[in-house]
Amino acid sequence: MVKVEVISKERIKPSSPTPLHLRSFNLSLLDQLAPRFYIPLLLFYTAKDSNHLLQTNQVAQKLRTSLSKTLAIFYPLAGRLKDDDTIDCNDQGVEVFHARVDEHLSEFLKKPHMEVLDQLVPGESFCTRSGADVPLAIQVNSFECGGVAIGVRLSHKIADGTAMAEFISKWAATARATNEAMDTTLVSASIFQPRSSVSSYLYPTSETIVTRRLVLDASAIAALRAKAAGHPTLESPPTRVVAVSALIWRCFMKAKRDKGPTTVSVSTHAVNVRGRMRPLVPESYFGNLWVATITEGVMISECNGDMQGVLEKQLGNAIKAVDSDFIEELKGPDGSIKAHEGMKKVAENYWDSDVHLCHFSSWCRFPFYEVDFGWGKPIWVSICTIPIKTSAVFIGRRWDDGMEVWVNMEADEMAKFEQDQELLSFVRIP
């Protein structure tokens, strides 16, 4: 097994102090509802210089200086979460770990093991309830060949995937010393007013979670869409994400079917609301601007080939329901009721043994493959284990329109899932 050894740790603070009037940052309603876990991300880069020691030192210095400057703009990330309502923007800084990996990057990427990927990102998956949660942690991993993997964990209580991409892109632009505008807009609590007695809906699961990476070529996705398009219940072909989500959902249900008393399956999908608001909100808005849709229930006992098209319609309708009218209701005086009812329904299903709840989130449009700190773009982007059972995260590929799907399941269900013949007719499991 590859050895990952943390050799140093330092705390990086903003390059300029946060003004006193900005020291207390109020979380929005959508921040309050966000799950209490860290979003993981790994960016892998090949060596640019044959002098590995020189490159390692240069990389560390460039990342250190540029992160400090970037934190002056994204100042809540250098603070501490006090509770479900507030970030204390006290400039305590971000912990950056430096680790050494005893293998060449090219060898590692031939078959990356989940146990090692988990070691390349710092800290724990879930936030604590201690009131001292750090919003952000970073780990710079140096391979024997001089290759680098930058591991990030960002608290979902502060930001969503779109915001994470915005922060990392700005950090990289600073490292390249470009003239790109460094200002950003932090999502104010005035957009989605926070409410009392509102909190996160997802917490750690006690079951052992196993993660697998599924690879879908562009041709496989096209075949999935074409197969569903012929179903009479669909007015138009499903999107790439909906088509793949339906396949995974169907195989999730088949893996669950013989396990126990669960009878009904429902699915949630994370939907970015920036482009659905009126007026439109720029993608550069930093914070949580997403909602979780939830489909109608499907009987697991009826999960078979005849369901082709049914799940695609369920998912498509749930996503389309998040329109400007829905968002305006969230912003209104009864928004917390509407939002919390939806999240509460998700939470109740999550813990209800009679309901099979599946989670989907697409990162396919996030520009992680464009993140260049000055030594080129990443050759691979990945995540690691997310301890949310029966969940899947989609990430686009660098060289084509295919995607990788990171699936998290209980161990016994995963054993059935990864042997599903319908699944294996469309995906590869490296």
List the catalytic residues.
Answer: 156, 372
Q: How many Å is the Cα radius of gyration of the chain?
A: 21
Which of 140, 149, 130, 160 lies closest to 45 in space, CA to CA? 149
Q: What's the CA gap between 398 and 103, in Å, rounded?
A: 23
Bond from prior residue into 279 cis (ω within 30 degrees of 0): yes
Could you tell me the two tokens for 194? 């926070």
Could you tell me the two tokens for 376? 């080129």
Q: What's the CA gap between 351 and 202, in Å, rounded?
A: 9
Angle subtended by helix axes 161-175 and 52-73, to nearest 10:
120
Which of 35, 80, 41 lies closest to 162 in space, CA to CA? 41
Are the beta carbons of 182 and 73 closer than 8 angstroms? yes
Q: What's the CA gap between 154 and 137, in Å, rounded?
A: 7
Could you tell me the two tokens for 351? 């813990």
| 25, β-bridge pairs | 87
Q: Concatenated DSSP letters for 209-225? A: EEEEEEEE-HHHHHHHH
Are the beta carbons of 268 and 294 closer than 8 angstroms? yes
Q: What's the CA gap between 256 and 334, in Å, rounded?
A: 37
Asked whether the CA dihedral 334, 162, 171, 36 is positive or negative, the reply is: positive
Residue 29 φ then ψ, to 5°:
-60, -45
Which of 134, 114, 95 lies closest to 4 in space, CA to CA? 114
Is residue 133 helix, strand or coil?
A: strand
Is residue 290 helix, strand or coil?
A: strand
Q: What's the CA gap between 22 and 74, in Å, rounded?
A: 11
Are the beta carbons of 237 and 228 closer than 8 angstroms? yes
Could you tell me the two tokens for 164? 């994470």
